[in-house]
Amino acid sequence: MRPPQPRVVVLAGGVGGSKFTLGVRAALRRLGAPEATVVVNTGDDLWLSGVRLQPDVDSITYALAGVNDTVRGWGRAGDTERVNEELQAWGAGWPWFTLGDLDLGTHLARTGWLREGLTPTQVLGRMAQRWPLGIRLLPMTDSEVDTHVLLEDGRRLHFQEWWTRHRAQLPPRAFENPGIADAVPAPGVTDAIAAADVVLLAPSNPVVSIGPILAVPGVREALRTTSARVVGVSPIIGGRVVRGMADVCLTAIGVETSAAAVARHYGARSAEGVLDAWLLAEEDTASAAELEAAGIRAVVRPLWMSDEDASAAIAEAALRA
Ligand code: FO1
C-alpha cells in the first residue's frame, strides 16, 4: 500500500522562497502528492506609477511558470524597459526601481482586476490560470500591509527604497508593518494550515519575508494549534546569509546571523514558538544539540539550493523531518 500523501503548506517570500517552492513542487510530484499551498508574503507590496506591485507574489509565480529572470533574481526573463524609460522621462516612479515591460503587463492586469473589485486572493487565482503552476498560491492577507524601515538616524523609508536603492546599507533600527494589526489571513490560509500534515517555513528572509506572514493576526495561532508538523529550513549556512541582506535585518531585531539563532527566534512550539523541527546545513552541525535542548528537532542536510534537484532534496528532507 502507498503511504498517505502529505498535505503541505509553505510560508514563503523572495528568491529563497521561489527556489524552495520549486523544490517542494518537484518533491511532491515525485511522491504523487497533492499540490502544496504556498502562502506568500505581501508585506513588501507597493503602489508605484498607479500600479500595484507584488514583488514576492510575482517572483514565485514567474519562477513556477519558468519565465523568471534567474540572473537578476526578480522580474521576467528577457524583459525590455521601454515603458520604464518613458516613465523616467516623465519623472514618474522611482529612478532606481525598474519596471520591465512584460512585468508591467502583470501589474496592469492585476491593478485592473483590483479596480474592478476582485480581492488580491481572487486576482492571484486568476493569474494562476495562465500557467500550470502546480502550486496553489495564496497571499498572506487581502489587506494592504506595508513594510517600513526605521533608520538609526530617525528617518522612515519604504522597504523597497531601503532595499533596492540603498542596498540595505543605511543602518536600520526596526521594521514596522503598518496595517498589519487590522489584517486578517486571506481566505483559505488558516484552513490550509489546519488541514495540513506538514507546514514548511521556506529559507526566506526571517524578518521581512516570513516575519510579516507570522505577524498577520491568526497565522501564528494557526501554526501553534495545527496537528501538522511545522518544519523550518535555515536561510543561514555557516553563519552567513545564503543570498540577500537578511543579516542586516536580523541584526536590527537583535538576532545573531546564525542558523541556531534564527530557529530560536521562531521558537519551539513546545515553548510558545512555531517550530517542531529545523533543517540545518552540514556546516552548522555543531548547533544541533543546542536546538534539541530548546525543544526543536534538528535535522542536518546539505542546504545549498544550487538547482531544482537540490531544492527538491531539501524539500523532501523537510517533509520527512
Ligand atoms: N530589485 C532591485 O534590486 N532593483 C529593481 O529595480 C527592482 C525592481 C522590481 C520591480 C518589480 C518587482 O516585482 C520587483 C523588483 N525588484 C527590484 C525586486 C524586489 O524589490 C526585492 O528584491 C524584493 O522585494 C525582496 O524580496
pLDDT tops 60 at residue 2: no
Quick one: cell of 37? 499551498
Cα separation values, 53 from 48, 155, 304, Å = 7, 23, 29
- The rounded Å distance from CA 276 to ligand 1 centre is 32
Indicate whether residue 244 lines ligand 1 (CB < 6 A).
no
Best of 72, 79, 164, 210 for a ligand 1 pocket test (most atoms within 8 Å of beta carbon): 164
Pick the residue whose CA is nearest to atom 21 on ligand 1: 55
Closest listed residue to residue 70, CA positions, set 55, 84, 59, 82: 59
Indicate whether residue 14 lines ligand 1 (CB < 6 A).
yes
In this predicted structure, what is the pLDDT of residue 3? 55
- The rounded Å distance from CA 74 to ligand 1 centre is 6
The average pLDDT across 146-163 equals 96
Per-residue pLDDT tens over the stretch 292-304: 999 999 999 999 9
CA 50/CA 223 separation, integer angstroms: 36
Helices 308-320 and 14-31, interaxial angle, to 10°? 70
Indicate whether residue 44 lines ligand 1 (CB < 6 A).
yes
pTM higher than 0.85 for the full model?
A: yes
What is the Cα 181 distance to its own chain's centre?
Answer: 20
In this predicted structure, what is the pLDDT of residue 4? 66
The average pLDDT across 135-152 equals 97
- The rounded Å distance from CA 15 to ligand 1 centre is 10
On whether the CB atoms of residues 175 and 253 are closer than 8 A, the answer is: yes
CA 78/CA 70 separation, integer angstroms: 10
Per-residue pLDDT tens over the stretch 92-140: 999 999 999 999 999 999 999 999 999 999 999 999 999 999 999 999 9
Please report, in angstroms and rounded to a whole number, the separation of the first and last CA atoms in the chain: 22
- The rounded Å distance from CA 84 to ligand 1 centre is 14
pLDDT tops 70 at residue 1: no
| Radius of gyration of the chain, Cα coordinates, nearest whole angstrom | 19
Indicate whether residue 164 lines ligand 1 (CB < 6 A).
yes
